[in-house]
Amino acid sequence: MPSASPTETPAVSLRVMELDDVPTAVRLHRANLPSGFFVELGDRFLARYYRTFLTSPAAVALVAEVDGRPAGFLVGSTDEAVHRRHVMHFSRWDLARAGVTSLLVRPGLTVRFMRTRARRYLKGMRRTGAAAAAGGERGRSGALSHIAVDAAVRRGGVGAALVTGFAGIARVHGVEWLHLYTGHGNEAAQRFYGRLGWEAQPVQYDIDGKPWVPFLLRL
């Protein structure tokens, strides 16, 4: 099939992510989202992480295709609390094993994990039972966790199709608003979400002191 000319917009189709798509998601994550603790833990951990979006009842995992080939992906949730409980109940030990394996061969990363994250992660695991009994209005919010588009098809509407498709699924599930985070210096991403109707919020700092710009989309 001939490729689209520079003036043509390629046709983008969306489908649900499958297990065979996980290696592609890992590759695109590493290529487009190269910083972050999950990337440092390695491809095995990333693969385990993306598999959780294939089994959670509150997760959304989409693949965008151009000319029948994967060109990008998006993962998120229509209910953060439900998705988190699912991951902690069914996948926490699998993720823990993959993470520990990575830490054992990366002493520097192990030190940073123990200093900045170990206590928080342990508390989160212990709270699983209590969280399972909690309900309330938190279930009416969702999150766009990760999105990545192949560099070869950037500016072709792939990212917009993924975000719009995710928002449509969230509306069907009765979600009132979605949120996401962009890097403080990632002005291109901030303009992109602004064009799609997302509203920037005050800057927040993560556990490493890195600034992020939250965005909200009211549905």
Per domain, the residue ranges of the chain are 12-218
Rounded average pLDDT per 10-residue block, the chain, 219 residues = 49 96 96 78 88 95 96 96 88 67 54 46 43 46 96 94 98 96 94 97 86 95
The reported pLDDT for the residue numbered 186 is 93
Which runs of E-coded beta strand occur in the chain? 12-16, 59-66, 69-77, 141-149, 177-183, 199-200, 204-205, 211-218
Pairing of strands 177-183, 141-149: parallel
Q: From CA 82, how far away is CA 196, in angstroms rounded?
A: 26
The reported pLDDT for the residue numbered 113 is 43
Domain 12-218 has CATH 2.120.10.30: no
